[in-house]
A and B are shown apart, each in its own frame.
Chain A
Amino acid sequence: TQLLEQSPQFLSIQEGENLTVYCNSSSVFSSLQWYRQEPGEGPVLLVTVVTGGEVKKLKRLTFQFGDARKDSSLHITAAQPGDTGLYLCAGARGTNAGKSTFGDGTTLTVKP
Chain B
Amino acid sequence: KAGVTQTPRYLIKTRGQQVTLSCSPISGHRSVSWYQQTPGQGLQFLFEYFSETQRNKGNFPGRFSGRQFSNSRSEMNVSTLELGDSALYLCASGPNAYNEQFFGPGTRLTVL
Q: Give, as a whole number of angstroms, the nearest-CB distance from B35 to chain A.
A: 8
- Contact present for B56 and A43 (CB under 8 Å): no
Q: With an 8 A cutoff between CB atoms, is A40 at the interface?
A: yes
Which residues in B have some Cβ–Cβ distance to A below 8 Å?
4, 31-33, 35, 42-43, 45, 48, 50, 55-56, 58, 88, 90, 92, 94, 97-106, 108
Min Cβ gap A104→B in Å is 5
Size bracket of the A interface: 20 to 34
Q: Which of A11-28 contact B (CB under 8 A)?
A: none
Do B100 and A95 touch (CB < 8 A)? Answer: no
Q: Contacts A98-B50, A98-B56, A99-B58 given; indicate if A43 touches B100 (C-beta within 8 A).
A: no
Q: How far is the CA of A103 from the CA of B31 in the complex (A)?
A: 21
The answer to whether A92 and B90 touch across the interface, beta carbons within 8 angstroms, is no
Partner-binding segment picked from A44-52, A55-63, A67-75:
A44-52
Q: Considering the chains assembled together, what is the distance between the CA atoms of A4 and B85 in angstroms?
A: 23
Bound state CA distance, A1 and B61, in angstroms?
17
Chain A's nearest CB lies how many Å from the CB of B58?
7
Selected contact of A42 from candidates B45, B99, B104, CB within 8 Å:
B104
User: B48 → chain A, closest Cβ, in Å?
Assistant: 4
| Docked complex Cα distance between A97 and B55 (Å) | 11
A97–B102 Cα distance when bound, in Å, is 11
Whether a CB of chain B sits under 8 angstroms from the CB of A100 is yes
Contact in complex: A92, B106 (CB < 8 Å): no
Which one, A35, A43, A98, A103, contacts B48 given CB within 8 A?
A: A98
Interface residues in A71-103 by Cβ distance below 8 A to B read: 88, 90, 92, 95-103
